[in-house]
Structure 1
Amino acid sequence: MAKAKELIADLDERSIDRIIEMAWEDRTPFSAIEFQFGVSESEVIKIMRDQMKASSFRMWRARVQDRPTKHSALRDPEMDRFKCNRQRAITHNKISKR
């Protein structure tokens, strides 16, 4: 758990909140979280385990495990993006406005 504490220490509270929010979203793949925050799937799991109650963590893990929309390898091959195609760009969690 020491690595999770170090990882959390490197992120600000707002980023941690956003990572947790994105991890709970069904249609946000882990690759999108990694792209925006540089945090791998295993690191997201460590953050979730550290920041949530044990029962909430178990519920989340059961929910996302083997979920096709959370894992790029299981997603529909035609779905190769993690943002709306009408969005211009995503840069470090700052989504461009129209």
Structure 2
Amino acid sequence: MIDISKFSAQEIDRIIEMAWEDRTTFDAIEVQFGLKHQEVITLMRKQMKESSFKMWRKRMTNKSTKHAVLRSQVSTRFKCDRQRAISNNKITKR
């Protein structure tokens, strides 16, 4: 059982946003927030309308990009290919 009270409203919003993104893995959410896959599902169930949760679960079922082990090696990057080194965090000029 997860304790949602340890997260701010802003953090909960970010977890939900990351869970909705196709390219963000559950492993990335665990590293950043300490929530395992099943805990993310529990949080989503509690924080979303039932219809929205069901739509999300349908999208995520068997989605290989959400699990690092199932991802192809092609999709290992987490940033835009036009983005500079993460320390500068700026889009390059064209």
| Bin of the TM-score, shorter chain as denominator length | 0.7 to 0.9
Cα pair distance change 1:87/1:21, threshold 3 Å: farther
Cα pair distance change 1:72/1:88, threshold 3 Å: same
Q: Tell me whether 1:68 sits opposite 2:60 in the alignment.
A: no
Number of aligned residues: 87
For 1:18-29, list aligned pairs within 5 A.
Answer: 18-29=14-25
TM-score of the two chains, using structure 1 as the length reference: 0.76
Structure 1 spans left out of the alignment, 5+ residues: 90-95
Identity, in percent, stands at 49
Counterparts of 2:63 and 2:51 in 1: how far apart (Å)? 19
> 1 or 2, which has the higher strand percentage?
1
Question: Larger relative CO (CA 8 A, sep 6+): 1 or 2?
Answer: 1
Q: CA RMSD in A?
A: 1.9
The partner residue of 1:88 within 81, 86, 89 is: 86
Structure 2 partner of 1:97: 89
Counterparts of 2:72 and 2:52 in 1: how far apart (Å)? 28
Structure 1 partner of 2:26: 30
